[in-house]
Structure 1
Amino acid sequence: MTKLPPEPDQNAAKPEPSRIVNPRREFLRSAGLFTGTVAALGGGLELLSRRPGAVAESVVPGLVGQAKRPLGPYDVSDPVTPYQQATTYNNFYEFGTDKADPARLAATLKPRPWTVKIDGEVKKPMTVDIDTLQSWFPLEDRIYRMRCVEGWSMVMPWLGFPLAGLIRRLNPTSKAKYVQFTTLLDPKQFPGQRSDVLTWPYVEGLRLDEALNPLAFMAVGLAGRVLPGQNGAPLRLVVPWKYGFKNIKSIVRITFTEKQPKTTWSIAAPDEYGFYANVNPKVDHPRWSQATERRIGDLGRRPTLMFNGYADQVASLYSGMDLKKNF
């Protein structure tokens, strides 16, 4: 049975000042299409689309090196995890099982050129370049809680676009009930794939109504910067009411299916990791309690919230379901 790494060391490094850049220009530069100097904005996060309904007096605390900005309708007000900690303490087994492996080895990942294959129960299968896919949507920022199944958590300022918008554009058929995501399979770029710790490539999935929930998000950036390799460049899923392993990284394929797809961790340990993986303090992992969590950068533990604090937005998706059986 696959075992998870130990819980985090709370003596984490202190954050470094952030360099805020224009993510679109950074993406172009990383693809070799932009040769000018990317200027630091100096004042705060450049929003590539302004969110409607922002409350002027409600501001985001804790953004390192960034001016405070209004909270959007999907943002949480929790202090944001410092960028250095968010990018140096990661689970990404494609690089290795140690928390430091992803940041140490991320340079092996080449996020350009990159394509995403769209297939399955969809009216027009296609393979699309990542920059083309990204250009379909105005980018927006969202500050979400992230809860790892291991019992630690962060607060992440993502940049990206709603998954629902992508699904509607891709136009799945009436048979589509689920959407499956697949990570790049390339042991040269992902040295961790040379081991048999998991079955590769990494695969995750959502029920279609979950994927269409407004909270479901496709991230291409983090804290105003292009998404780092260790955090899932160039494209990752973010579903904040689920445990972190559902947030699949470095996506190269999106497949619409009629039947529930098998997912990597439910294959590795079906008695420990279910398909839904909703954050639930009342359902313990077989080897530890899920009632509390350790927020990276904080001392002590805090109570874990049902659906990670997003119950008002997502509880109706599971009405009538046995959440202990459907874990």
Structure 2
Amino acid sequence: MLIRHSDIILPSEITPPEIYRERRRFMQGMGALAAGAALGSMEEAHASVKLAGVRASAHTLDEDKTPYKDVTTYNNFYEFGTGKSDPAENAGSLKTRPWTVTVEGAVKQAKIWDIDALLKLAPLEERVYRMRCVEGWSMVIPWVGFPLSELLRRAEPTGNAKYVEFVTLNDPKQMPGQRSRVLDWPYVEGLRLDEAMHPLTLMAMGLYGEVLPNQNGAPIRLVVPWKYGFKSAKSIVKIRLVEKQPVSSWMKANPEEYGFYSNVNPQVDHPRWSQAKERRIGEFFKRDTQMFNGYASQVAQLYRGMDLKKFY
């Protein structure tokens, strides 16, 4: 069980945007890509390439969106470094084509999907989601993608499939942060099958109507908006359906601080800071953290009868 501490999040814990903006000069020129190669490799971490055929979704919020520049330059992506600006500065080394995603395990239809095929798997939707970091900051991001359930249904899970494990790219040549031992690579995350099949769970391939930038998890990432951000694995190469609960990377690194569920919960603190308040990037004042990040009406039934302090 986690222990409650002070409700105060120190300003020093969240870097002001005006400071970290000054540190980046990587956005110098954008390579023009043909529409058919929209997910191709890029020499820069940032590429402004529009995604065609994106439709609006019922799963969206009527809230002010976090500016694109903040979304793409203030990130946690330890494969490229532990600093908030490191992913934007270092992710240009990632080559997103060729790229495949393997779906395997307790399924009837195991398959290796090419990234182009995934792009056409289902209609792309724009979904504006709140995203809450375990460190106490949050954003509102217009993701572009398709429900994970569309992919899992095609795999036809067997009766033994209880959980879904996500494995990300492990290539220190492309991901310089993996040369450190901050985590045991590759990055691994997991969901219960019913969480993975929930309509809100998204496989994102873009944001703000554009191809997903490298620093945000290109070419394809998970987005689970009612959980802390580290649950939304980036740059996924394998999806495995399994019977036993996976051991995620942060659970393996520090099980007392990071549980399997990691639902946003203002009543369960991280041992080193409170989760009762959060600061939206771009705002000065803190706001109250909402249970399940504001998605309680859609997802609370998944955890009916569970002790959420025990299963944190």
* TM-score bucket (shorter structure): 0.7 to 0.9
Corresponding residue number in structure 2 for 1:215: 200
Matching residue's letter, 2:37: L
Verify the 8 A CA contact 2:17 2:70 in the aligned structure 1.
Answer: no
Corresponding residue number in structure 1 for 2:108: 123
Matching residue's letter, 1:141: E
Verify the 8 A CA contact 2:88 2:215 in the aligned structure 1.
Answer: yes
Aligned equivalent of 1:169, options 154, 164, 178:
154
Q: TM-score, normalised by structure 1?
A: 0.83
Aligned equivalent of 1:270, options 255, 269, 292:
255
**For the structure 1 residues 225 and 306, does the alpha-carbon distance in structure 2 shift closer, same or farther, using more than 3 Å as the test?**
same
Where does the alignment leave 5 or more consecutive residues of structure 1 unmatched? 1-5, 15-23, 33-37, 52-71
Whole-Å separation in 1 of the counterparts to 2:181 and 2:227: 25
Corresponding residue number in structure 1 for 2:232: 247
Whole-Å separation in 2 of the counterparts to 1:274 and 1:87: 27
Whole-Å separation in 2 of the counterparts to 1:9 and 1:224: 27
**For the structure 1 residues 146 and 315, does the alpha-carbon distance in structure 2 shift closer, same or farther, using more than 3 Å as the test?**
same
**For the structure 1 residues 27 and 256, does the alpha-carbon distance in structure 2 shift closer, same or farther, using more than 3 Å as the test?**
farther
- Superposed counterparts of 1:117-196, under 5 Å: 117-196=102-181
Report Cα offsets for 1:269-291 as digits up to 9, x if no partner.
Answer: 10000000000000011010000
Verify the 8 A CA contact 1:216 1:240 in the aligned structure 2.
Answer: yes
Aligned length in residues:
284
CA positional deviation for 1:7: 2.7
Report Cα offsets for 1:169-193 as digits up to 9, x if no partner.
Answer: 1111111000000010000010000
CA positional deviation for 1:322: 0.2
Is 1:110 the counterpart of 2:116 in the alignment? Answer: no
Report Cα offsets for 1:297-324 as digits up to 9, x if no partner.
Answer: 0011000000000000000000000000
Matching residue's letter, 1:165: E
- Equivalent position SS for 1:116: strand
Q: TM-score, normalised by structure 2?
A: 0.87
- Equivalent position SS for 1:142: strand
- Equivalent position SS for 1:103: helix
Relative contact order (alpha carbons < 8 A, sep ≥ 6): 1 or 2 greater?
2
Matching residue's letter, 1:114: W
Matching residue's letter, 1:251: I
Verify the 8 A CA contact 2:221 2:235 in the aligned structure 1.
Answer: yes
Corresponding residue number in structure 2 for 1:281: 266
Verify the 8 A CA contact 1:204 1:263 in the aligned structure 2.
Answer: yes
Whole-Å separation in 2 of the counterparts to 1:264 and 1:296: 26
- Equivalent position SS for 2:190: strand
Corresponding residue number in structure 2 for 1:300: 285
Where does the alignment leave 5 or more consecutive residues of structure 2 unmatched? 1-11, 23-32, 42-46
Corresponding residue number in structure 2 for 1:238: 223
Identity of aligned residues (%): 61
Corresponding residue number in structure 2 for 1:57: none
Whole-Å separation in 2 of the counterparts to 1:50 and 1:159: 9
Whole-Å separation in 2 of the counterparts to 1:189 and 1:222: 22
Verify the 8 A CA contact 1:27 1:226 in the aligned structure 2.
Answer: no
Report Cα offsets for 1:238-263 as digits up to 9, x if no partner.
Answer: 00000000000000000000110110
- Equivalent position SS for 2:143: strand
CA positional deviation for 1:10: 2.1
